[in-house]
Amino acid sequence: MDKMSFRCVGLNTTFDTKKTSESICEVVDRQGDKQLARVSLGSDGKTTREVLAGTGKFEGMQMSGTVTELGPFPTIKPGTYQACNRQTGTYKLK
């Protein structure tokens, strides 16, 4: 699952110095197969990823895990965010 592209929309919050975020992402691999994923940063500081739906080889896939962001990386275009993440967890194909 290396070198996949993410396009996300979400909401980030900070209350009493605790950050949370919830994003829904379209994830595309090099062959054009897609995943719809939920990426959540909890108040405990842990980021999790869950696949909600998929196309092609990802259809019916079950996946969950944690995310560790590597970086930071500079923004190359206003309104965008660049990152590289190490994701660990489990998955099961249909």
The pTM is what?
A: 0.74
Highest mean pLDDT among 6-10, 27-31, 69-73, 90-94: 27-31
CB contact at 8 A, 56 and 34: yes
Q: Tens digit of pLDDT for each residue in 11-64?
A: 888 888 888 889 999 999 999 999 999 989 887 878 888 899 999 999 999 888
What is the predicted pLDDT for the residue at 32?
A: 96
Instruction: Tell me if residue 87 falls in helix, strand or coil.
Output: strand
Give the model's pLDDT for residue 18: 81
Per-residue model confidence (pLDDT) at position 33: 96
